[in-house]
Structure 1
Amino acid sequence: MKHYKANAAGILTGLLMALGIAPLGSMPGYAQVTSVDEGYLLGVGDHLRLDVFNVPEYSGEFQVLADGTLNLPIVGGVSVQGMTLAQASEAVSQRYIEIIRRPYVTLSLLETRPVTVAVAGEIHRPGSYRFETQSTNLSDALQQAGGITQSANIRQIQIRRQR
């Protein structure tokens, strides 16, 4: 099934290009949108694409700032920290409703924020490691830290998450 989907995507891309239509991700001025779970919560460092329908001067690419806001044209800072994309779109839309009648706002995630993982204990290189993807798993972190030592007890591994 995976092969079929990949092949279909390739055929569709080829067909679009043959017709003179390029996929948005390959067009200048359009960054590739990152696919994430609907429950993904926005945080500092996430890169977003804002599209305000029929108002291109308000559209663009923005980064969630250290205070958890997006600094947007005309309306200024809009808090999006801890929100899903749908919730953030609604918050941005509510700010633009003061300026635009019935704004149609779309927020897309271009790039997720990096994740820093601290690894300690019976491993070869304890320390903090930065991962650019949200799908980081325990084995990736252990591998970056040089693996476990011979005296390590893998049944005693603990995972702690800070929010």
Structure 2
Amino acid sequence: MAPAHSIAQKTSAGAAPGEAAPAEDNRYIIGPGDTLQVFIWRNPELSTTVPVRPDGKISTPLVEDMIAVGKTPSQLARDIEGVLGEYVRSPQVNIIVTQAVSTFSQVKVIGQVATPQSLPYREGMTVLDAVLAVGGLGPFAAGNRAKIVRMEAGGQQEIRVKLDDLVNRGAMKYNLALRPGDVLVVPESFF
């Protein structure tokens, strides 16, 4: 049996020592335009599928104008449970994002690539996945001066990526993981 102090001791991320901390940075954040399935266990008449309105709110039976933008599906489920608790005994709510279309769920690739565009983010997406999806580097790309622009709570962060080494030389150490909302910028080379 494990000593009591090792069970009670938790890291700030919520994982016990020796366990992997949850990947909070990659948690999905709900945005405007997303479509959500709101499932209330044992209450099918309250379960529904709703869009997130441009004002960032959703409305479901018994819950009007709940702010959804900026929350994870789990956070939104807990908030809905709090409101439904007035009407339903011990509500259990699950939120499933059925259509992710908000800018929070996209990765943008701009600059000297074959077809600059926004790509739908998916779990495990890397720089190489994004570059291949946009058709590769353009003929005038300065791939080794590329960068990922990432918005975080403390502001904007820039991460250098040597795309030319990654794509043309197979240097996989530059195949960095992307996050929803990232912008991959590929500048033009100097002549």
Same fold, TM-score > 0.5, yes or no: yes
Q: 1:143, CA displacement in angstroms?
A: 3.8
Unpaired runs of at least 5, structure 2? 1-22, 152-180, 182-191
Distance 1:148 1:124 in 2: 6
Equivalence for 1:123: 113
Residue 166 of structure 2 corresponds to residue 147 of structure 1: no
Counterpart-to-counterpart distance in 1, 2:70 and 2:93 = 19
DSSP-derived class of the 1:83 partner: coil
Match of 1:158 in 2: 147
Higher strand share: 2
Which whole-Å CA distance do the structure 2 matches of 1:50 and 1:145 have between them?
34
Are the structure 2 counterparts of residues 83 and 118 from structure 1 closer, same or farther at C-alpha, using a change threshold of 3 Å?
A: same
Please give the TM-score of this superposition, normalised by the length of structure 2. 0.53
- Which runs of 5 or more structure 1 residues have no equivalent in the other structure? 1-36
Name 2:48's counterpart in structure 1.
60
Paired positions, count: 124
CA-based RMSD of the aligned residues comes to 2.6
Provide the secondary structure at the position in 1 that maps to 2:38. Answer: strand
| Corresponding residue for residue 132 of structure 1 | 120
The alpha-carbon deviation at position 89 of structure 1 amounts to: 0.7
Q: Residues 89-113 of structure 1: CA distance to partner in whole angstroms, max 9, x if unpaired?
A: 1101111122223222222232323
Q: Which has the higher helix share?
A: 1
**Separation of aligned partners in 2, 1:93 and 1:109:** 17
In the TM superposition, what is the alpha-carbon distance from 1:139 to its structure 2 partner? 3.3
* Offset, 1:156: 0.3
Q: Report % sequence identity.
A: 23
